[in-house]
C-alpha cells in the first residue's frame, strides 16, 4: 500500500482501473478491490491535506486492447494517471496503447495458481515453457518443489514435508505417490531428464488465427 | 478538544443488534447520542467498502454489531463480518489510521443493556482517540 | 426517462414519546431542506388510522413516490406503513423508516440538544437512502403437498400423525431400528401416571396403520436441497436409498439422557441413572430399601450450563413410584434447585414430601460424596454433614442433544446452539420455526421437554407446516440477491460463500441464484469481487447513500 501511495503521490486525478478477468476471479483487482483501493487513496490524501479525485472503472480483460481502448477513450482527459489493478500484462497493455499516459501497477503479480478454497491460492505454474506434468503425475516440480528439482527428491524432506517449510508438502514425494497410483513408476527410472529451460520467446504467433492472406507453403 | 463529540456509524443486523437497540429504547436505558445506526438484513451484508466509506464520509468510528457467536440468523454472516472488520483494520493501519476506530461486536436481540454499554464503550474509545484524521477540519 | 423523485417525510410525535424530547417542528423544517423531499408532515400518531389514511391521501394528492416515516421501530411498524404505501398505489418497498423513538428520544432523554441533532442526522440518512430504494415484487411457486418428519419419537410421531390427519402425506424417518424414541424405555409419565409403553405403542400402531404416513426405520437424511414448498430430500433406510420431494420438513430428532461416566461412582449397577431406574421399575425388579437421588448430575455446570428442566419431575415421579414399589422405602432427593413448574407438578412435589421423600439441598461447591452403600452430604438445615444409607444411588442427568444433531444441522443448513440443540428463529415470536422458512422443530431436538410439552410443540409444528402445505402455491417477497450476468466473472466466490449453497454456475459460466431458495442475507453481495450481485432490499447504493449522509454537507454543528 505504501508503495502505491508513493507511486500516485504526484497525481491529483487517478483512474483506478480494474480487470474483469483473472484479477477479479482471484479477488485482487475486480470492481470491489477497485472501490477499496480508490477509497483508501482518497482517505490517505484527505488525511494529508492533499485531496485527490478518483475515477473507478473495470475493463473486461485488461490484456486485451479492444477491451481497454473504449473505456480509456471515454474517460480521456478526466485523469492524470492510470493505476491498474490488472496483472503485469494488463498494465503494459494500457501503457502501450496510451504511451502518453502514466500507467502504474497496483498489484504485484505473484504467480499462476489454483483456488484451493475461498481465500487460499497456491502457485502451480511458472509458465516455464516446457511442461513435464505428463511424467510427474500431474504435480509440477518447478513450482511445487521449493528447489525446482527436476529429477527426484533432494533428501531433505521429513515426514512428507519440505525442509524449506514445514507446511509445504514435498513435491517429489507427492509425485512418487501419484505415479504409483497411476502405475507409472517406471517414468522415474527413465534417463535423467534435463530440463529444457526455453528462452522465453516473448511472442507466440498462430498464423491460422491471424488476419490476412495465408503465406504459401510449398 | 474537550468538546469533541464523535460521530460513530453502526452497521446493525436486523435480527439482533437492531432489536437490542429497540430493547434499550423500550427499557429507557440511556447511552451517549453519538451513534448512527445503519440497518442491514445481516452483518454479512456489510462489505469492507461500506465501512471505509462511512469513515471517509465523516464517521470518527464504525462498528458492526452482529448476532452472538453461533446464533447468526443466516448461519455465518456475523463471522464473515468479523473477518471483514479485521481486514479493514489492517487496511487502515496501512494508511496510518488507528485500527481501533473500527470494531466488531456481538450481541443478541435480548441484550438491550449490552447494546447501550457497547455504544458507550465505543464512544469512550473514539473520544480517547480524538477526531478521525480525515475530519480535522470539522473541529 | 426517470421520474423525478418525490419523497414525502412523515414525522411522528408518538404522543409525548417522541415530541416530549424532540422538537418535531424543527425536524420537519429540517427535512424540508433535504434533497428530493417534496413534502413534510407531522402527525401525532402516524400509525393510527388517522395517520395512515393521511399518508395514503397525501401520497396520492401530491404524487409522492417515496415515503419516509420518522417514528418508532420498523420491526413492529414497517408492515403497517408498507401496506399503506401499497394502498396509496406505490411499491411497498418505496418506504423507509427512521427510528427516532427507540433509538433516540427514549435513550437520550436527558440530552435534548444532542438528541435533536441525532434525529436530524437519522432523518437525513433515511432520506438519502430513500432516494435509492427500488421496487420489489413477489413471486410464487408450487407447493409439494407432502411433509418429511425426522425422528419418530413422541414428538415426531405426534407431528406426523397430525399432519396426516389434515390429509397430507408424510415421510417419517427414524434412525433407530424401531420407532418410539426415548419413551420406549420409560415407565410411567408424570404427572398423570400414563404408562409410557402404552402411549407410545398406540402412536406407533397409528403411524404404521395410516397410509398417508410412510415410515422408514434405520433411516438417515443424506442431502436436502431446494426451499420451502419444494425440498428435494435424499435419505436412506437400511441399505436402500430414496429421493423424494416435500414441501416442509420437521426436525424432531429428540435428545438423549447424558451418561454420567466418571460421575458419583456411576457403575450402572448400584449407582444408576433415572432411565435405568425406570427400566427396573417397569420390570418390577427393584428391592432397594433406601434410595438416594442426586439432581443436576452433569448439568448446570460451566461446560453444560443449562437446566434440563424435566429431571426434577422425573425424580419426584420416580421417588413416588419407589415408595409404591418397595414398602417403607426411604427416598432422599439431593437437589440444587427444584424445577416443578405448573400446578400439577407443584402438587406432585407436595405429595412426594407428604409421603416422606426427603429433599436436601446441596451447593455446587460442596457436592454429595457417594461411598459404598452410603452418601455423605452437608445438610444445610442441620448445619452439618450427614451420611445417608443408600442401597441404590440414582443420578438425574440432563437430556443432551443427540450426537448427530450437528451433522443434520449442516445437511439442513439450520443452526444449533452452543449445546448442539437446534436453534429456533425466535424463542418467543417463532419458537417452532427455523429461520429458514419451511423447516420446523419440536420436542427434545429443540430443548429438553416433557412428553406433554413435546406433544404441544409437535402439534404446533404440524400446524405451522400445514399452513404451507394447504396452499397450492407459495408467495415470497423478492428481497433476494440476483446476479447481473454481464458483470459476473464466473469466479465461484458466491457459490463458495453462500451459507445455503444456493448460487450455482450455469452453462454460460455465469452464476445464478434461484430466488425462491435465496434467504436474503446479502453475504454473496458483499463478497462478489466483481460486484455483480444486486440486492434490491439493501443495495450498495442505499448503504453508501446512508454513509454519505452521515455527516451533513456544510452543516455547522452549532450545538458543539
Domains of chain B, start order: 8-129 (3.40.50)
Nearest to C532 by CA among C491, C479, C476: C491
Q: C172 - beta bridge partners?
A: C149, C215
Least CB–CB distance from B49: residue in A32, A44, A46: A32
What values do phi and psi take at C544, rounded to 5? -65, -40
In angstroms, the separation between the Cα of residue A65 and the nearest Cα of chain B is 29
Please count the other Cβ atoms lying within 10 Å of the Cβ belonging to residue C359: 19
Judgement on whether residues A16 and A85 belong to the same structural domain of the protein: yes
Confirm or reject contact between A71 and chain C (CB < 8 A). no
Contact C51, C45 (CB under 8 A): yes
Query: Which residue range(s) make up the domain with A143?
Result: 116-188
In angstroms, the separation between the Cα of residue C503 and the nearest Cα of chain A is 15
Task: Report the Cα C469 to chain-centroid distance in Å.
Answer: 20
Query: Looking at the predicted structure, is the pLDDT value of residue C556 above 80?
Result: no
CB contact (8 A) between residue B14 and residue C115 = no
Contacts with C397 (C-beta within 8 Å, 6 or more apart), sequence order: C257, C258, C259, C260, C273, C274, C297, C298, C299, C308, C311
Closest chain A CA to residue B47: A32
Chain B neighbours, 3+ Cβ pairs < 8 A: A, C
Cell numbers at C141, concatenated: 411457486
Contact B18, B12 (CB under 8 A): yes
CB contacts of A36 in chain B (<8 Å) are 48-49, 52, 91
Closest chain A CA to residue C525: A32
Pairing of strands C374-379, C248-251: unpaired
- Supply the DSSP string of C213-249, one letter for each residue: EEEESSEEEEEEEEETTEEEEEEEETTEEEEEEESEE
Q: What Rg value do the Cα atoms of chain A yield, rounded?
A: 23
pLDDT of amino acid A204: 82
Q: What percentage of residues in chain C have a pLDDT greater than 90?
A: 87
CB contacts of B73 in chain C (<8 Å) are 425, 435, 521
- The pLDDT tens digits of the residues spanning C482-502 come to 999 999 999 999 999 999 999
In a domain, A15, yes or no: yes
Least CB–CB distance from C415: residue in B18, B70, B80: B70
- Supply the DSSP string of C276-341, one letter for each residue: HHHHHHHHT----SEEEEE-STT-SBTTB-S--SSHHHHHHHHHHHHHHHSTT-EEEEEESS----
CB contacts of C493 in chain A (<8 Å) are 27, 118
More confident position, C311 or A213: C311
In a domain, A16, yes or no: yes
pLDDT category of residue B135 using cuts at 50, 70 and 90: confident
Confirm or reject contact between C93 and chain B (CB < 8 A). no
Please count the other Cβ atoms lying within 10 Å of the Cβ belonging to residue C431: 18
pLDDT category of residue B70 using cuts at 50, 70 and 90: confident
Residue of C123, C479, C543, C558 to mutate when probing chain B, most B C-beta within 10 A:
C543
In a domain, A169, yes or no: yes
Contact A75, A95 (CB under 8 A): no
More confident position, A129 or C521: C521
CB contact (8 A) between residue A35 and residue B49 = yes
CB contacts of A4 in chain B (<8 Å) are none
pLDDT of amino acid B1: 44
Judgement on whether residues A158 and A80 belong to the same structural domain of the protein: no
Contacts with B66 (C-beta within 8 Å, 6 or more apart), sequence order: B13, B16, B17, B42, B43, B72, B77, B78, B81, B82, B104, B105, B106
Cell numbers at B18, concatenated: 437492531
Contact B24, B31 (CB under 8 A): yes
Confirm or reject contact between B133 and chain A (CB < 8 A). yes
CB contact (8 A) between residue A20 and residue C489 = yes
Judgement on whether residues A167 and A94 belong to the same structural domain of the protein: no
Domain closes at, from A81, A105, A129: A105
Q: What is the mean pLDDT of residues B108-117?
A: 93
The per-residue pLDDT string of chain A (218 residues; one tens digit each, 9 = 90 and over) reads 889 999 999 999 999 999 999 999 999 999 999 999 999 999 999 999 899 999 999 999 999 999 999 999 999 889 999 999 999 999 999 999 988 888 999 999 888 888 888 889 988 888 888 888 998 999 999 999 999 998 889 999 999 999 999 989 999 999 999 999 999 999 888 877 777 777 777 788 887 788 877 766 66
Query: Looking at the predicted structure, is the pLDDT value of residue C194 above 80?
Result: yes
Closest chain C CA to residue B61: C550
CB contact (8 A) between residue A58 and residue C530 = yes
In a domain, A202, yes or no: no
Query: Looking at the predicted structure, is the pLDDT value of residue C322 above 90?
Result: yes
Q: A158 - beta bridge partners?
A: A161
Please state, in angstroms and rounded to a whole number, the distance separating the CA atoms of residues A73 and A93. Answer: 14
- The pLDDT tens digits of the residues spanning C505-519 come to 999 999 999 998 899
- The pLDDT tens digits of the residues spanning C403-462 come to 999 999 989 988 888 899 998 988 888 899 998 889 999 999 999 999 999 999 999 999
Task: Tell me, letter by letter, the H, E, C secondary structure of chain A.
Answer: CHHHHHHCCCCCEEEEEEECCHHHHCCCCCHHHHHHHHHHHHHHHHHCCCCCEEEEEEECCCCCHHHHHHHHHHCCCCCCEEEECCCHHHHHHHHHHCCCCEEEECCCCCCEEEEEECCEEEEEECCCCCCCHHHCCCCCHHHHCCCCCCCCCCCCCECCECCCCCCCECHHHHHHHHHHHCCCHHHHHCCCCCCCCCCCCCCCCCHHHCCCCCCCCC
Least CB–CB distance from B134: residue in A1, A2, A47: A47
In angstroms, the separation between the Cα of residue B46 and the nearest Cα of chain C is 6
CB contact (8 A) between residue B91 and residue A5 = no
Judgement on whether residues A100 and A43 belong to the same structural domain of the protein: yes
In a domain, A200, yes or no: no
Judgement on whether residues A43 and A92 belong to the same structural domain of the protein: yes
pLDDT of amino acid B138: 59
pLDDT of amino acid A190: 83
Domain closes at, from A71, A105, A139: A105
In a domain, A150, yes or no: yes
Query: Looking at the predicted structure, is the pLDDT value of residue B10 above 50?
Result: yes
CB contact (8 A) between residue A32 and residue C532 = no
Judgement on whether residues A8 and A70 belong to the same structural domain of the protein: yes
Q: How many domains in chain A?
A: 2
b/e map C50-61, b = 16+ CB within 10 Å = ebbebbbebbee
CB contacts of B91 in chain A (<8 Å) are 1, 36, 40
In angstroms, the separation between the Cα of residue C397 and the nearest Cα of chain B is 25
Q: What is the mean pLDDT of residues C47-67?
A: 94
In a domain, A203, yes or no: no
Confirm or reject contact between A31 and chain C (CB < 8 A). yes
Q: What is the CATH number of the domain that holds A80?
A: 3.40.50.2300
- The pLDDT tens digits of the residues spanning C98-107 come to 999 999 999 9
CB contact (8 A) between residue C529 and residue A115 = no
CB contact (8 A) between residue C491 and residue A24 = yes
In angstroms, the separation between the Cα of residue A2 and the nearest Cα of chain B is 7
Q: What percentage of residues in chain C have a pLDDT greater than 70?
A: 98
Judgement on whether residues A135 and A65 belong to the same structural domain of the protein: no
Query: Looking at the predicted structure, is the pLDDT value of residue C210 above 50?
Result: yes
- Supply the DSSP string of C507-558, one letter for each residue: TTS-EE--TTT-----HHHHH-TT--EEEGGG-HHHHHHHHHTTS-TT---T
Least CB–CB distance from B56: residue in A5, A32, A42: A42
CB contact (8 A) between residue A47 and residue B55 = no
Least CB–CB distance from A30: residue in C492, C496, C529: C529
CB contact (8 A) between residue C491 and residue A27 = yes
pLDDT of amino acid C557: 42
Confirm or reject contact between B137 and chain A (CB < 8 A). no
Please count the other Cβ atoms lying within 10 Å of the Cβ belonging to residue C500: 17
Closest chain B CA to residue A6: B95
pLDDT of amino acid A151: 87
Task: Sheet with C213-216: list strands edge to edge.
Answer: C213-216, C169-173, C146-150, C248-251, C439-441
pLDDT of amino acid C555: 47
Contacts with C382 (C-beta within 8 Å, 6 or more apart), sequence order: none
pLDDT category of residue B2 using cuts at 50, 70 and 90: low
Closest chain C CA to residue A33: C529
Least CB–CB distance from C538: residue in B36, B37, B40: B40
CB contact (8 A) between residue B52 and residue A39 = yes
Chain C neighbours, 3+ Cβ pairs < 8 A: A, B
Pairing of strands C146-150, C169-173: parallel
Q: What is the mean pLDDT of residues C258-264?
A: 95
Judgement on whether residues A134 and A50 belong to the same structural domain of the protein: no
Judgement on whether residues A18 and A64 belong to the same structural domain of the protein: yes
Residue of B45, B49, B84 to mutate when probing chain A, most A C-beta within 10 A:
B49
pLDDT of amino acid C43: 93
pLDDT of amino acid A218: 63
In angstroms, the separation between the Cα of residue A140 and the nearest Cα of chain C is 24
In a domain, A198, yes or no: no
Judgement on whether residues A67 and A146 belong to the same structural domain of the protein: no
Nearest to C451 by CA among C171, C182, C92: C182
Judgement on whether residues A88 and A132 belong to the same structural domain of the protein: no
Contact C304, C400 (CB under 8 A): yes
pLDDT of amino acid B62: 97
Please state, in angstroms and rounded to a whole number, the distance separating the CA atoms of residues C180 and C200. Answer: 6
In angstroms, the separation between the Cα of residue B120 and the nearest Cα of chain C is 12
pLDDT of amino acid C558: 39
Please state, in angstroms and rounded to a whole number, the distance separating the CA atoms of residues C456 and C259. Answer: 27
Judgement on whether residues A61 and A125 belong to the same structural domain of the protein: no
Amino acid at each position: 500500500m505504501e508503495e502505491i501511495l508513493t507511486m500516485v503521490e504526484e497525481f491529483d486525478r487517478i483512474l483506478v482501473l480494474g480487470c474483469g478477468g483473472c484479477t477479479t476471479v482471484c479477488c485482487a483487482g475486480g470492481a470491489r478491490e477497485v472501490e477499496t483501493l480508490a477509497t483508501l487513496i482518497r482517505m490517505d490524501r484527505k488525511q494529508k491535506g492533499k485531496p485527490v479525485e478518483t475515477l473507478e472503472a473495470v475493463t473486461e480483460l485488461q490484456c486485451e486492447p479492444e477491451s481497454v481502448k473504449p473505456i480509456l477513450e471515454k474517460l480521456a482527459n478526466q485523469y492524470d494517471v492510470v493505476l491498474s489493478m490488472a496483472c503485469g500484462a494488463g498494465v503494459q497493455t494500457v501503457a502501450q496503447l496510451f504511451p502518453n499516459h502514466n500507467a502504474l501497477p497496483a498489484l504485484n503479480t505473484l504467480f499462476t495458481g489454483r483456488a484451493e478454497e475461498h481465500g487460499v491460492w497456491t502457485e502451480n505454474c511458472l509458465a516455464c515453457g516446457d511442461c513435464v506434468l505428463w511424467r510427474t503425475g500431474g504435480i509440477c516440480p518447478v513450482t511445487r518443489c521449493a528447489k525446482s528439482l527436476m529429477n527426484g527428491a533432494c533428501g531433505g524432506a521429513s515426514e512428507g514435508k519440505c525442509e524449506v517449510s514445514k507446511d509445504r508438502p514435498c513435491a517429489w514425494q507427492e509425485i512418487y505417490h501419484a505415479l504409483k497410483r497411476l502405475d507409472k513408476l517406471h517414468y522415474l527410472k527413465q534417463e535423467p531428464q534435463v530440463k529444457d529451460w526455453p528462452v522465453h520467446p516473448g511472442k507466440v504467433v498462430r498464423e491460422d488465427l491471424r488476419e490476412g492472406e495465408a503465406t504459401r507453403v510449398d | 478538544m474537550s468538546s469533541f463529540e464523535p460521530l460513530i456509524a453502526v452497521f446493525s443486523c436486523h435480527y439482533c443488534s437492531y432489536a437490542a437497540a429497540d430493547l434499550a429504547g423500550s427499557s429507557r436505558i440511556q447511552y451517549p447520542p453519538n451513534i448512527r445506526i445503519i440497518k442491514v438484513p445481516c452483518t454479512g451484508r456489510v462489505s469492507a467498502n461500506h465501512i471505509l466509506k462511512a469513515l471517509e464520509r465523516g464517521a470518527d468510528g464504525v462498528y458492526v454489531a452482529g448476532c452472538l457467536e453461533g446464533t447468526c440468523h443466516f448461519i455465518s454472516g456475523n463471522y464473515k463480518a468479523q473477518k471483514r472488520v479485521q481486514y479493514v483494520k489492517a487496511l487502515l493501519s496501512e494508511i496510518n489510521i488507528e485500527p481501533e476506530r473500527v470494531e466488531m461486536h456481538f450481541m443478541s436481540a435480548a441484550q438491550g443493556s449490552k447494546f447501550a454499554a457497547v455504544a458507550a464503550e465505543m464512544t469512550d474509545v473514539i473520544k480517547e482517540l480524538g477526531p478521525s484524521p480525515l475530519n480535522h477540519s470539522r473541529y | 426517462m426517470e421520474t423525478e423523485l418525490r419523497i414525502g417525510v412523515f414525522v411522528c410525535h408518538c404522543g409525548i414519546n417522541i415530541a416530549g424530547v424532540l422538537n418535531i417542528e424543527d425536524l420537519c423544517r429540517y427535512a424540508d431542506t433535504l434533497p428530493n423531499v417534496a413534502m413534510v408532515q407531522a402527525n401525532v400518531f402516524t400509525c393510527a388510522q388517522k395517520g395512515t389514511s393521511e399518508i395514503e391521501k397525501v401520497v396520492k394528492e401530491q404524487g409522492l413516490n417515496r415515503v419516509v416515516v420518522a417514528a418508532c421501530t420498523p420491526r413492529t411498524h414497517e408492515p403497517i406503513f408498507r401496506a399503506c404505501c401499497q394502498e396509496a398505489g406505490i411499491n411497498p418497498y418505496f418506504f423507509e423508516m427512521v427510528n427516532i423513538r427507540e433509538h433516540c428520544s427514549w435513550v437520550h432523554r436527558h440530552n435534548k440538544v444532542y438528541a435533536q441533532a441525532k434525529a436530524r442526522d437519522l432523518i437525513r440518512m433515511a432520506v438519502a437512502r430513500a432516494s435509492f430504494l427500488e421496487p420489489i415484487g413477489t413471486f410464487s411457486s408450487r407447493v409439494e403437498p407432502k411433509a418429511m418428519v425426522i425422528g419418530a419419537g413422541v414428538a415426531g410421531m405426534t407431528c406426523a400423525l397430525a399432519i396426516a390427519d389434515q390429509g397430507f402425506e408424510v415421510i417419517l424417518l427414524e434412525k433407530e431400528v424401531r420407532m418410539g424414541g426415548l419413551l420406549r424405555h420409560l415407565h410411567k409419565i408424570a404427572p398423570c401416571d400414563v404408562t409410557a409403553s402404552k402411549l407410545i405403542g398406540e402412536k406407533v400402531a397409528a403411524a404404521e396403520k395410516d397410509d398417508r404416513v410412510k415410515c422408514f426405520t434405520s433411516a438417515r437424511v443424506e442431502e436436502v436441497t431446494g426451499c420451502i414448498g419444494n425440498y428435494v430430500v435424499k435419505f436412506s433406510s437400511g441399505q436402500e436409498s430414496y429421493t423424494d420431494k416435500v414441501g416442509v420438513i420437521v426436525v424432531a430428532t429428540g435428545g438423549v439422557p447424558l451418561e454420567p461416566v466418571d460421575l458419583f461412582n456411576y457403575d450402572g449397577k448400584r449407582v444408576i441413572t433415572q432411565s435405568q431406574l425406570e427400566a427396573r421399575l417397569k420390570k418390577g425388579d427393584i428391592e432397594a430399601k433406601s434410595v438416594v437421588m442426586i439432581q443436576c448430575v452433569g448439568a448446570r455446570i460451566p461446560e453444560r450450563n443449562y437446566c434440563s428442566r424435566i429431571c426434577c419431575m422425573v425424580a419426584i415421579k420416580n421417588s413416588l413410584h419407589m415408595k409404591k414399589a418397595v414398602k417403607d422405602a426411604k427416598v432422599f432427593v439431593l437437589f440444587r434447585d427444584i424445577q416443578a413448574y405448573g400446578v400439577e407438578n407443584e402438587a406432585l412435589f407436595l405429595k412426594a414430601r407428604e409421603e416422606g421423600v426427603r429433599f436436601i439441598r446441596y451447593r455446587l461447591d460442596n457436592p454429595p460424596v457417594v461411598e459404598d452403600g452410603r452418601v455423605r452430604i452437608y445438610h444445610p438445615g442441620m448445619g452439618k454433614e450427614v451420611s445417608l444409607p443408600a442401597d441404590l444411588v440414582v443420578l438425574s442427568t440432563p437430556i443432551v442433544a443427540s450426537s448427530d444433531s450437528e451433522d443434520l444441522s449442516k445437511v439442513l443448513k439450520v443452526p444449533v446452539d452452543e449445546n448442539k440443540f437446534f436453534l429456533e428463529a425466535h424463542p418467543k415470536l417463532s419458537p417452532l420455526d427455523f429461520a429458514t422458512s419451511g423447516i420446523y422443530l419440536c420436542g427434545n431436538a429443540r430443548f429438553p421437554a416433557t412428553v406433554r410439552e413435546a406433544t404441544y410443540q409437535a402439534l404446533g409444528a404440524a400446524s405451522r407446516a400445514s399452513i404451507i402445505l394447504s396452499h397450492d402455491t407459495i408467495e415470497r417477497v423478492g428481497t433476494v440477491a440476483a446476479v447481473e450476468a454481464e458483470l459476473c466473472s464466473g469466479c465461484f466466490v458466491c457459490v463458495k460463500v453462500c451459507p445455503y449453497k444456493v448460487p450455482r454456475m450455469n452453462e454460460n459460466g455465469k452464476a445464478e441464484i434461484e430466488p425462491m431458495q435465496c434467504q436474503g442475507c446479502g453475504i454473496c453481495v458483499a463478497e462478489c469481487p466483481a460486484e455483480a450481485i444486486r440486492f434490491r432490499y439493501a443495495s450498495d447504493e442505499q448503504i453508501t447513500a446512508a454513509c454519505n449522509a452521515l455527516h451533513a454537507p456544510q452543516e455547522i454543528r452549532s450545538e458543539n
